[in-house]
A and B are shown apart, each in its own frame.
Chain A
């Protein structure tokens, strides 16, 4: 039997077993049983994805599973890539989740409802890329949205912020579904069939207007899932408020499916979109990247910071996808393939380092109850392994060698430089700006993660809770270790992915040939005389480090280091309150981007009653609100509110009036029908 098919069947079976275990097993046995089933499911997903990346194809039609249409599943290299990423993340996070949820009370993350939803959510993450018909896809998509909503709300008891996040998430994700439903229904009606094969065959027959409409609707729906501006406000709410293992799954696996959807529908099914559509995708991605990383630079809540950084990284992915579409629509398959490969590699890299970052943040939250960077500090000495894992993942996130994020951003820049061979004024204007956006977000992300690591984990504790922190249990460390291994592997030998990436790219943008080849030592770009050898760079850095240490050792007169107290300007030992907090660290950046961020601050001076010259209390507050949210969503919500209030007057409780509505409605309908005949 086909290995991918076997693995998919196995994953479905394990998810059912996990859900049953979550619902039926009592107290202590529940969490490990569910965790093991989910980990097995992840492994199966990883196996299926890897097999597909190796060139295995599999498709199945299960007529009995869904009424009318039946369920269609198909696995090719493109779905394989996203299945493998989701499977790997699910595997590591499930192992982490056993330790994370163990010992929690009957409510929250260890409860029956949450534990039985978790395997189902994991299964949908793995299976959405395998869906091969509109109805199957929408069903799995909606199942993913609903189970993740249950999981986001896991810790809502007594926490209004979680409920608010749940409402935002529910509304945004359902609006996204409406757009997706409309877009895909329009597509299926025009193509004359709802399986992906029929869509592919019928796409050339669509009129340009219909193509454009389908493209915009579908791209908007998927962009909202990826947390793109301006459809992003749910992401920095829902991701931080969910339990950390769920945050990791959402941020590392679920948002990727937004990028997958755009690639699958626009490239594979529609066979390429309009040029302006791709410019829109690229612009949205660029805007989201800068917006996300700026908000992350201002955030002092660790998980919120990570959620904003997710928005940034998916923005970079969409820059790659949009650039690929732009090149492909201009008839240049080579740079298109390269840009798409860069976007895919960034999806893989981001998934691994972001899952690890959220897991490490979850460990901190579990050990201290803190998410506020301003009150952390000193965790390096108290949670050395967690701090180490956070550092490894942060190195990946800052796009500096020898981290894994550097490689995909390097590839993205290379693809944009190669894209200059594409003639046209739009490329001449857009590509330099895209390079600047990537560079700015890379620079800001360095500041963001220096802040997160340096303020959160280094120096001395700034609160009693941080001082009392202890290391996480071994199960959580094992899960994080798997992800850390993934980060290191992707950072040092990304060339191993070369063939798989080329196959995935060939599904979406055929005709480009393999954009990159590589072995364990090197990543080579075909068509460009450029190569990158991360292993070599890491070895050179290590050699340089050894040489510098040898210089010190050779010249030193005294061997041992002595420990002395910090320089205190003669004013007594500096206290932890004197050290820089996340807010103060971000202050210069906030001033620089004052016009963009529009921070709000106020000083309240309360004088003593006897004299206005004597001050009793001064309070200072500052917040950096999300401007898009404030300008776009608050008026919108206000308008809907007012509309709702006004609509209440339509229903005063009079039966006569309701009958009158019915009559008027009927007449209007008949008139419309008569007019349209």
Chain B
């Protein structure tokens, strides 16, 4: 039991670390195809990472420990989240600790670390990126926690495994207005949290429109590799989490190797599908002006409020 559970955690982390650059590759490929280009190979992000990792590590003059610590911290927080959330199995040795609030806070820690690194450089772009990133993060937080609140209401617990298992046993809950609204709110929050369109453009090369990229501007070589990997892992984990919360079917609830293998395959498919859908949608979206982003987030906050209200009044308590 314990051996398989540990294997499930290891499989989750490995899948996220190995799969994250591939997911980015798939998304770029989908985007390129839709735009009529051939696009780079799916493994291109991995090649980029390998190239960056082999380069010389560079510390800009005047930066300190905050700058040095941010890239590994970003990867570490995301890796811990990848181990915690039930992506492959709901019964792992750590599933008792898989608290949704803790997960949100760990991702927040990564954001804060990168923002501090941006300020540590003392350049205008670093500060600008940090300021924008923290603004968006501050506004995303209420949405996420309220969606968490709505999702945890039927279960009475913020434990992720309990929420996912509850969804498996009671699929009506997922399709209820509360469940759908909460998922929609969470989806918008995920877009903002991972810096995708329409909140931020991950492929931008224009400094004035950058949010996340501006904080990462001074990173080079292995540091940049870790920042890229961390960002890609965040996207993968959050898409996986979204998949587990809204369509948990296929996740392993028993501790047999077969269920685990099946769950891995289903998870890969689900995340790839979500990623491809996101990439396809991004072709048709334009980046919002920074000061229009709060309106989007306010909308998603409203969805979350509606979700809570719906789950309170429609469950007939």
A contacts, CB < 8 Å to B: 377, 380-381, 398-401, 406, 410, 413-414, 416-418, 420-421, 423, 428, 432, 435-436, 438-440, 442-444, 446-447, 450-451, 453-455, 458-460, 528-533, 536-537, 540-545, 547-549, 551-552, 555-558, 560-567, 574, 576, 578-580, 584-589, 591-592
Contacts and interface: CB of A to CB of B under 8 A. Distances in A.
Contacts of B59: 561-564
A479 B112 CA distance: 27
B56 A428 contact: no
Contacts, number: 257
B106 A428 contact: no
Contact of A443 (B75, B137, B317): B137
B294 interface: yes
A401 B109 contact: yes
Given A528-B157, A530-B158, A592-B139, 6 more contacts: A428-B312, A443-B139, A447-B134, A552-B225, A566-B62, A576-B122
Contacts of B135: 447, 588-589, 592
A423 B290 contact: no
Nearest to A579: B122
Closest 7 CB pairs of A and B: A580-B127, A454-B119, A544-B76, A459-B122, A443-B141, A443-B138, A548-B72
B141 A585 contact: no
Contact of A410 (B101, B124, B137): B101
A571 B50 CA distance: 31
B112 A398 contact: yes
A149 B25 CA distance: 64
A584 B96 contact: no
Interface in B98-117: 99, 101-102, 105-106, 108-109, 111-112, 115-116
A585 B80 contact: no
Contact of A548 (B66, B119, B226): B226
Nearest to A417: B152
B48 to A, nearest CB: 13
Interface stretch (B29-37, B142-150, B246-254, B277-285): B142-150
A584 B156 contact: no
B276 interface: no
A589 B293 CA distance: 12
Interface in B61-115: 61-62, 64-66, 71-73, 75-77, 79-80, 83, 96-97, 99, 101-102, 105-106, 108-109, 111-112, 115
20 contacts: A399-B105, A417-B158, A418-B156, A432-B305, A436-B301, A439-B144, A439-B145, A450-B116, A459-B120, A528-B156, A544-B76, A551-B75, A552-B57, A555-B53, A561-B57, A561-B58, A562-B56, A567-B60, A580-B119, A589-B138
Interface residues of B, number: 83
Contacts of A544: 75-77, 79-80
Nearest to A533: B97
B173 interface: no
A458 B120 contact: yes
A435 B141 CA distance: 11
Contact of A562 (B57, B75, B145): B57
B123 A558 contact: no
A453 B69 CA distance: 15
B24 to A, nearest CB: 18
* B interface majority secondary structure: helix
A381 B122 CA distance: 13
Given A547-B79, A556-B54, A566-B62, A450 B149 contact: no
A555 B64 CA distance: 23
Contacts of B271: none
Q: Counting chain A CB atoms within 10 Å of each CB, which of B66, B138, B157, B162 scores highest?
A: B138
B308 interface: yes
A196 to B, nearest CB: 38
Given A440-B141, A450-B130, A574 B124 contact: yes
B222 interface: yes
Q: Counting chain A CB atoms within 10 Å of each CB, which of B144, B145, B152 scores highest?
A: B145
A291 to B, nearest CB: 15
A443 B140 contact: yes
B309 interface: yes
Nearest to B301: A436
A548 to B, nearest CB: 4
Contacts of A428: 309, 312-313
Contacts of B102: 401, 410, 532, 537
A454 B130 contact: yes
Contacts of A423: 317
B61 A459 contact: no
Contact of B149 (A401, A406, A417, A460): A417
B159 A530 contact: yes
Contacts of A447: 134-135, 137-138
A441 to B, nearest CB: 9
B4 interface: no
B237 to A, nearest CB: 13
Contacts of B139: 443, 592
Contacts of B225: 552
Interface in B203-218: 217-218
Nearest to B109: A400
A417 B156 contact: yes
B97 A580 contact: no
B58 to A, nearest CB: 6
A437 to B, nearest CB: 8
A398 B106 CA distance: 12
Contacts of A410: 99, 101-102, 105
Contact of A460 (B99, B122, B138): B122
A557 B52 CA distance: 11
Contacts of A418: 156
A399 B137 CA distance: 13
A566 B55 CA distance: 18
Contacts of B56: 557-558, 561-562
Given A458-B116, A580-B124, A548 B149 contact: no
A454 B116 contact: yes
A418 B72 CA distance: 36
Contacts of B146: 432, 435-436, 439
Contacts of A547: 76, 79
A337 B225 CA distance: 48
A139 B197 CA distance: 61
Contact of A400 (B97, B105, B218, B290): B105
Contact of A580 (B106, B112, B130): B130
Contacts of A541: 73, 76-77, 80, 106
A414 B158 CA distance: 8
A574 B313 CA distance: 58
A574 B122 CA distance: 9
B60 A442 contact: no
B61 A435 contact: no
Contact of A567 (B73, B140, B218): B218
A453 B130 CA distance: 12
B142 A564 contact: no
Contacts of A556: 53-54, 57, 222
Contacts of B75: 544, 548, 551
Interface string B282-317: 000000001100100000010001001100110001
B44 interface: no
A531 B102 CA distance: 11
A417 B62 contact: no
A551 B13 CA distance: 14
Contact of B99 (A532, A540, A576, A588): A532
A447 B118 CA distance: 13
A397 B218 CA distance: 28
B280 to A, nearest CB: 30
A401 B106 contact: yes
Contact of B141 (A381, A439, A529, A543): A439
B126 interface: yes
Nearest to A381: B64
Contacts of A417: 149, 152-153, 156-158
A417 B162 CA distance: 15
